Amino acid sequence: MTAGEEDLTRRALRVKQTHEEELLSKSNVLGVGVGLRERGGQRGEQVALVVLVRRKLPAADLAPQDVIPREIDGVPVDVQEVGEVKAGA
């Protein structure tokens, strides 16, 4: 990991701590983490704040308070659809 990647990872972790409660309060959000951004189902190399949702929806279909920003405090946000989560047996 390069120094730049390490700095971005630390910044992403701080952003997660600061904004996790707010993000989890949004409709459809199941979890928040830090990971590598995905594009077209392929994991990239860019560190991002990862927001897990039941279903990805167009911003036009969401209430304004439920829209997830593309970037928070300079850290890119990657919204990933995970579907319904059920407890195991």
Q: What is the pLDDT of residues 11-68, one digit of tens each?
A: 999 999 999 999 999 999 999 999 999 887 778 788 999 999 999 999 899 999 999 9
pLDDT for 88: 64
Pairing of strands 75-81, 42-53: parallel
Domains and CATH numbers, the chain: 3-81 (3.30.300)
- Pairwise CA distance, residues 75 & 29, whole Å: 18
Question: What does the radius of gyration of the chain's CA atoms come to, in whole angstroms?
Answer: 13
Q: Is there a contact between 68 and 20 (Cβ–Cβ < 8 Å)? A: no
Residues 6+ apart with CB under 8 A from 33: 16, 49, 50, 52
pTM of the model: 0.85
